[in-house]
């Protein structure tokens, strides 16, 4: 292969990689904590946008964390489509039938259920300093770490998070399992 041909191929490879880095992933499927459930429980990408890349939908600004939390609870448990709040305010403003647990979330013997919502206050643990963040609890990784599914934060749509980041845990009696984890004392 000639040097010129090799140079052209390398240039093409750089363009392909650069194009991939700048691709628009708006609405791309990321993760689903309940893949066997027939409702809309999947998380979707908002990358690389800081606002909504998909406009407004039934559950709010598409692909934002609050839209996902509201869509998950509407699809999975039958709650209202819109709660009219930012993530940081969900602990105090949510539909009746949802319980906000705010104390002992990272203390000994606190309980987390698969399908709970973890609300992170504004500016806490990397959450947006104005709006906060909310995600669906998928399970436990360790005695102090949760596995979460989310929109508009991580590129993968799922990650690990310390239970101590929680401003509150939103839970409904409709969610009777599976039990995700119990945070134990070491």
Query: Tens of pLDDT along the chain (186 residues)?
Result: 433 333 333 333 333 333 444 467 899 999 999 888 878 899 999 877 777 888 999 999 999 999 999 999 999 999 999 999 999 999 999 999 999 988 666 554 567 788 999 999 999 999 999 999 999 999 888 877 889 999 998 888 999 999 889 999 999 988 876 665 655 544
Q: Is the peptide bond before 178 cis (omega within 30 degrees of 0)?
A: yes
| Predicted TM-score of the model (pTM) | 0.82
Check: CB of residue 71 under 8 Å from CB of residue 59.
Answer: yes
Which overall architecture, per CATH, does domain 25-183 show?
Answer: Alpha-Beta Complex (3.90)
Domain definitions of the chain by residue range: 25-183
- State whether residue 4 is helix, strand or coil: helix
């Amino acid at each position: 292969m000639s040097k010129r041909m090799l140079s052209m191929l390398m240039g093409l490879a750089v363009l392909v990689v650069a194009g991939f880095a700048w691709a628009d992933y708006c609405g791309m499927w990321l993760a689903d904590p309940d893949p066997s459930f027939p409702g809309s429980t999947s998380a979707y990408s908002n990358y690389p946008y800081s606002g909504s890349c998909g406009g407004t939908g039934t559950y709010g600004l598409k692909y934002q964390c609050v839209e996902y939390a509201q869509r998950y609870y509407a699809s999975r448990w039958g709650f209202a489509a819109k709660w009219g709040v930012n993530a940081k305010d969900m602990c105090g403003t949510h539909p009746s039938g949802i319980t906000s647990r705010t104390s002992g979330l990272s203390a000994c013997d606190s309980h987390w259920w698969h399908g709970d919502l973890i609300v992170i206050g504004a500016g806490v643990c990397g959450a947006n300093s104005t709006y906060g963040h909310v995600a669906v609890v998928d399970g436990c990784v360790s005695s102090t770490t949760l596995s979460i599914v989310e929109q508009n934060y991580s590129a993968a749509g799922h990650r690990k998070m310390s239970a101590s980041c929680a401003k509150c845990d939103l839970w409904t009696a409709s969610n009777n399992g599976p039990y995700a984890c119990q945070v134990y004392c070491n």
